[in-house]
Structure 1
Amino acid sequence: MAGNEAPVRADESAAGIPDTAGESANLAQWLRRWAAETPDAPAIRQGALTLSYRALDDAAGRAASLLTSHGVGPGDHVSLIMPNVAYFPIVYYAILRLGAIVVPSNPLLKAGEISYIWQDSDCRVAVVLNLFAPDAELAAKDTGTDVITVVPGEFDQLLAGQEPDTSVAERSADDTAVILYTSGTTGRPKGAELTHANIGSNVATMVETLSHTGPGDVVFGGLPLFHSFGQTCAMNSAVYAGAALALLPRFDAEQALEIVQDDKVTVFLGVPTMYMALLAVKDPQRFDTSALRQCCSGGSSMPVEVLHGIEKTFQVTVLEGYGLSETAPVATFNHPDRPSKPGSVGTPIRGVEAKVVGPDDQEVPVGEIGEIVIRGENIMKGYLNNPTATQEAMRGGWFHSGDLGRMDSDGYFFIVDRVKDMIVRNAFNVYPREIEELLYTHPAVAEAAVVGVPDAVHGEEIAALITLKEGEAVTEDELREWTKERIAAYKYPRIIRFGEIPKGPTGKMLKREIKIG
């Protein structure tokens, strides 16, 4: 976008979002609403377990009473450490209905990492699934945090002995609802404060303009609920819409397809590596996925070959979007009522603006690469106890994403790479995603991650870590020559290695953990 042109902005009408002026903005009201209107409708499914909206609301009320007995009140920070099990939404909405703040964390964190988060966010109480209690208990010794250990069965009995708290605390739109700690790729993790309005607006837009979810729908719950994508777009969106959430505690492609078949999932949410795994399942058509009407992808850019593969295999449309924890998370999306562009993350959602800027924070011309910056209803309040980081991220009133991208003449955004992932070889900028897209077209390649490695002659050299498809074979030299024939000489990977690509809890590739000598 050049010169003085206005940034791309979504429709600001916010049609369909309830007017909450003068009312409590507490997200927990959604659960109370459906418990009253459709009490017997399924809310949570996990294997053989089904919780109705009445049962989920009752359990959340009892959990709220339990938390109150541990001293939790409005404004308190409560840590929540567990995978995608039914206890997660029970405790999550219990915390919110007390007016307290949820601090969800990856269950795989170690004691030192947990201690840092608890100290930084001043968590006085933590609710932890028993499988992950040992590290939490070690952290508690350093922080004095009161740990409530959730032992399946025993915890149910504990809740049964509580009188359910049927009230929902008053919260204003700008009150913090959730604190999400970023991955910490640059120094210590930072706690992004998301308000009730941030999440509420993002959920309403997701449901009303993107997924069109409603009662009777079943949303796939395989994305980690402690992460913004799974929490906002799956769990909170399902509860906002009165739909059911079908949980999968640990992602496995065959189990995911079984859930899609058995629970008649209508909306599937995943990151690209999840979709790659679905395509790698032997004879995926043996599963009945006919109830699926929409797939949504986010977390990282989806290779075009994978998108086409999913649409062909499962006969369903894949809509790709973009966002970050700091944007609650959705910022742009391919809208279902507009043309979709493969490889694009779409246009800004309702109530959000986005543009592409250069190093001087000035907009760049259409088609040129720069950093994507965002502002709107979805942007976090700031980083907890970190005004310096907040000011740096929010320069000029725009959240600076750290992602490189471009915008075409139709206002569609394309993610090129993370600013920090860009490779500079012989003074030429090389964007790993471009090379990865090419590698995915090779018939033997299942997954590809391209990174830069230090080089005394060229500054950085281009390296690729490749996972081959089962039963396929190709040598490093053969794959190197194949790419060399199809891409500019300064771009092709001189170094190719085969192996498993490290991934984070959401299935996102962790390039910072790739070590290639």
Structure 2
Amino acid sequence: MHLSTLPDERAATAPEAPAIRDDASELSNRVLLDRVRRAAGALAARGVSRGDVVAILLPNRVELIVALFAAWRVGAAVTPINPVLGVTEVRHQVADSGARVIVSDTDLGLDLDQIGLDDLDGDADDASDPRDLGDEQLALLIYTSGTTGTPKGVMLSHRNLDAMTSSFISWFELGADDHSLLVLPLFHANGIVLGTLSPLRAGGQVSITGRFARDRFFADVERLRPTYFSAVPAIYALLSSLDDSVQPDTSSLRFAVCGAAPMPAEAITRFEQRFGVTIVEGYGLSETTTASTINPLRGVRKPGTVGLPLPDQRVAIMDEQGELLPPGGVGEIVIAGPVVMTGYLGRPEETARTIVDGWLHTGDIGRFDADGYLQIVDRIKDMIIRGGENIYPQEIENALYAHPDVVEAAVIGAPDPVLGEVPVAYVAVRDGAVVSPADLAERMAETLAAFKRPQRVLLLPELPKNPVGKIDKPALRRRLADAS
């Protein structure tokens, strides 16, 4: 399916059924199609056509999705931009993507044709029908967070989106009764593909709640009655830190998805037991259009793993010589299948290093257990080598999360003149909890070998996050360096 036709198909099937809403507006299928057609006309009037790129810099709101479908309707690709980026970062993404126009509600002062929200009300007849487009055409340019260097444009085709949404619909048994509560940012693949496109393709609906706020989240759940949402571990940690008196009605939720970073089994159990919501943890990258493994809704769920490979994807463990390893072997996670990106925009050499013989090299270390469930061991770049011994920070973080008052934990390597590197832990605890570094060190001593224990445990009110909501380890490394 080419998703540019989705608004037309929904309007033809159930014109008055709800499609998408935010805090300001609510669109039925009929109104969504009308808005998309008029926005497509506005883009066409600005000269946007097949093969162009449309940049969209907006907070989470209905107009972002309208502009997305409108760009696809005229045959253009979309690059969504994080609205909190600085001007220099925005300029880089606009220039690197080759965007022809930018849709934004902010005066950016760029040397580029800018389309305001009022300007999206064009003549629907200028672009009345979706173009006859091939599945291999570029659909999305998702830019990586840039923690390992200059942000790169991940090229996702309409074929990638078709495969990924189809897989999600099958895995989660999505249908017309499903309702996604969108809390993740729409400049990221998860928010667009799992949070928006998949439920819309299944005939369901989407509610956009704007920027995540801990104290409003469950009020939205009770008011809107969604059937699922997707979030990152930091969001679950914030919700778990709510006062014990908060006991919301979560009966509408069939499940919740956790991705972007590993979530310790203890934290999953803590959230599920308190709020009565099943969390299925998954694993994927922008380069694989969102997800490649997820714990099943039916059958055995294994908290602490990221589940089983999704349909039509091959997920394997590879050693440094390029040989695939049997269950239990530890090595790099590699992925093949129709969700693998077409490449990094304008970076053929980096694309060739990342996709080798059809396998996408993730840079993550993992292992499969005897039942075929994938466990993430750590990032290759995050591994700490202490006096010749390999230490995986995630193992230490899991030991910290076993403490009932630990909300967030991150372990990084600190330079050491003798050992090369030693682990240092940053921890945030529940409001009102009385926990000392010595308490945490004592707890870790029960489960970790001496060489794995952090040299220091530092307490912070909250750990820094990157724009996607992951704990920002580069920021912690800078903090540690400044302190030294």
TM-score range, shorter chain: over 0.9
Q: Distance in 2 between matches of 1:400 and 1:160?
A: 43
Q: Distance in 1 between matches of 2:226 and 2:310?
A: 24
Partner of 2:23: 47
The alignment partner of 2:96 has SS state of helix
Q: Distance in 2 between matches of 1:497 and 1:86?
A: 41
Q: Distance in 2 between matches of 1:161 and 1:90?
A: 13
Question: C-alpha displacement at 1:163, in angstroms?
Answer: 3.3
Structure 1, unmatched stretches of 5+, are 1-24
Partner of 2:337: 376
- List per-residue Cα deviations over 1:391-440 (Å, max 9, x = no partner): 00012220000111111111111011111111111111111111111111
- Alignment match of 2:155 (pick from 190, 193, 196): 193
Q: Could you tell me whether the CA contact under 8 Å between 2:393 and 2:411 is conserved in 1?
A: yes
Q: Could you tell me whether the CA contact under 8 Å between 1:357 and 1:373 is conserved in 2?
A: yes
Q: Distance in 2 between matches of 1:39 and 1:506?
A: 34
Q: Distance in 2 between matches of 1:240 and 1:438?
A: 41
Q: Distance in 2 between matches of 1:346 and 1:475?
A: 34
- RMSD between aligned residues: 1.5
1:23-62 equivalence runs, <5 A = 25-47=1-23, 49-62=25-38
- Alignment match of 2:234 (pick from 230, 250, 273): 273
Distance 1:485 1:306, change over 3 A: closer
- Alignment match of 2:138 (pick from 172, 176, 185): 176
Letter in 1 for 2:130: V
- Alignment match of 1:65 (pick from 41, 45, 48): 41
Q: Distance in 1 between matches of 2:395 and 2:351?
A: 31
Q: Could you tell me whether the CA contact under 8 Å between 2:23 and 2:210 is conserved in 1?
A: no
Give the TM-score normalised by the residue count of structure 2. 0.95
> Is residue 389 of structure 1 aligned with residue 350 of structure 2?
yes
Letter in 1 for 2:13: E
Bigger shift: 121-130 or 193-202?
A: 121-130
Q: Distance in 2 between matches of 1:48 and 1:163?
A: 23
Q: Distance in 2 between matches of 1:284 and 1:422?
A: 40
Distance 1:208 1:485, change over 3 A: closer
- Alignment match of 1:102 (pick from 68, 72, 78): 78
> Is residue 261 of structure 1 aligned with residue 222 of structure 2?
yes
Question: C-alpha displacement at 1:479, in angstroms?
Answer: 2.1
Q: Distance in 1 between matches of 2:156 and 2:7?
A: 19
Partner of 2:174: 213
> Is residue 293 of structure 1 aligned with residue 293 of structure 2?
no
Partner of 1:410: 371
Q: Could you tell me whether the CA contact under 8 Å between 1:319 and 1:336 is conserved in 2?
A: yes
Distance 1:302 1:354, change over 3 A: same
Structure 2, unmatched stretches of 5+, are none
The alignment partner of 1:363 has SS state of coil
Partner of 2:359: 398
- Give the total of aligned pairs: 477
Q: How many percent identity over aligned positions? A: 38
Partner of 1:10: none
Q: Distance in 2 between matches of 1:443 and 1:307?
A: 12
Question: C-alpha displacement at 1:364, in angstroms?
Answer: 2.6
1:47-196 equivalence runs, <5 A = 47=23, 49-130=25-106, 133=107, 136-137=108-109, 140=110, 144-150=111-117, 155=118, 158-160=119-121, 162-163=123-124, 165-196=127-158
Partner of 2:210: 249
Q: Could you tell me whether the CA contact under 8 Å between 1:125 and 1:148 is conserved in 2?
A: yes
Letter in 1 for 2:395: E
Letter in 1 for 2:348: P
Question: C-alpha displacement at 1:48, in angstroms?
Answer: 5.5
Distance 1:183 1:284, change over 3 A: farther
Distance 1:218 1:397, change over 3 A: same
Q: Distance in 2 between matches of 1:389 and 1:204?
A: 29
Q: Distance in 2 between matches of 1:456 and 1:146?
A: 54
Partner of 2:303: 342
Q: Could you tell me whether the CA contact under 8 Å between 1:31 and 1:53 is conserved in 2?
A: yes
Question: C-alpha displacement at 1:161, in angstroms?
Answer: 5.6
Q: Could you tell me whether the CA contact under 8 Å between 1:26 and 1:170 is conserved in 2?
A: no
Letter in 2 for 1:221: L
Question: C-alpha displacement at 1:350, in angstroms?
Answer: 0.8
Letter in 1 for 2:396: I
Letter in 2 for 1:419: I
Distance 1:48 1:116, change over 3 A: closer
The alignment partner of 2:162 has SS state of helix
The alignment partner of 1:286 has SS state of coil
The alignment partner of 2:451 has SS state of coil
Distance 1:430 1:85, change over 3 A: same
Q: Distance in 1 between matches of 2:76 and 2:284?
A: 25
Q: Distance in 2 between matches of 1:387 and 1:160?
A: 39
Q: Distance in 1 between matches of 2:242 and 2:31?
A: 35
Q: Could you tell me whether the CA contact under 8 Å between 1:322 and 1:333 is conserved in 2?
A: yes
Q: Could you tell me whether the CA contact under 8 Å between 2:42 and 2:121 is conserved in 1?
A: no
Give the TM-score normalised by the residue count of structure 1. 0.90
Letter in 1 for 2:104: V
Bigger shift: 311-320 or 190-199?
A: 311-320
The alignment partner of 1:28 has SS state of helix
Q: Distance in 2 between matches of 1:129 and 1:407?
A: 46
Q: Could you tell me whether the CA contact under 8 Å between 1:296 and 1:319 is conserved in 2?
A: yes
Question: C-alpha displacement at 1:160, in angstroms?
Answer: 4.6
Question: C-alpha displacement at 1:303, in angstroms?
Answer: 1.1
Q: Distance in 1 between matches of 2:446 and 2:199?
A: 47
Letter in 2 for 1:511: K
Question: C-alpha displacement at 1:187, in angstroms?
Answer: 2.0
- Structure 1 stretches of 4+ with a deviation exceeding 6 A read none
Question: C-alpha displacement at 1:159, in angstroms?
Answer: 4.3
> Is residue 223 of structure 1 aligned with residue 195 of structure 2?
no
The alignment partner of 1:416 has SS state of strand
